[in-house]
């Protein structure tokens, strides 16, 4: 998956703005998956709430990763994202994407 490879490339960069971009891009991939899978809602949060127990085993990982994306989007430069945290969040997205066969 080329998009996923870009996410990985960004998160492995030395540039903190690339780490933010990796998380934002992964979150867009999550949104596209949820819409394609038939979940409805005005936001990713709404769609994640619509996931029934057992439909996505890694739903907690999806929530945790999405919440960090929200902090990046809403807190901007006030949110200090470390290299370690960026990699942890991308790994959460990876768990979800592997489960649902995106990557």
pLDDT in tens, 12-24: 999 999 999 999 9
d(CA 54, CA 38): 16
Strands (E), the chain: none
Q: At what angle do helices 83-99 and 2-11 cross, to 10 degrees?
A: 160
Q: At what angle do helices 16-36 and 83-99 cross, to 10 degrees?
A: 20
pLDDT in tens, 54-103: 999 999 999 999 999 999 999 988 999 999 999 999 999 999 999 999 99
Contact 99, 57 (CB under 8 A): yes
């Amino acid at each position: 998956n080329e998009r996923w490879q870009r996410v990985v490339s960004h998160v492995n960069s030395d540039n903190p703005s690339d780490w933010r971009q990796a998380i934002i891009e992964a979150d867009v991939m999550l949104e596209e998956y949820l819409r394609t899978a038939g979940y409805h809602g005005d936001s990713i949060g709404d769609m994640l709430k619509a996931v029934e127990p057992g439909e996505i085993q890694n739903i907690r990982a999806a929530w945790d990763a999405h919440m960090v994306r929200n902090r990046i989007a809403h807190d901007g430069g006030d949110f200090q994202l470390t290299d370690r945290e960026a990699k942890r969040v991308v790994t959460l997205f990876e768990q979800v994407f592997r489960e649902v066969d995106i990557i």
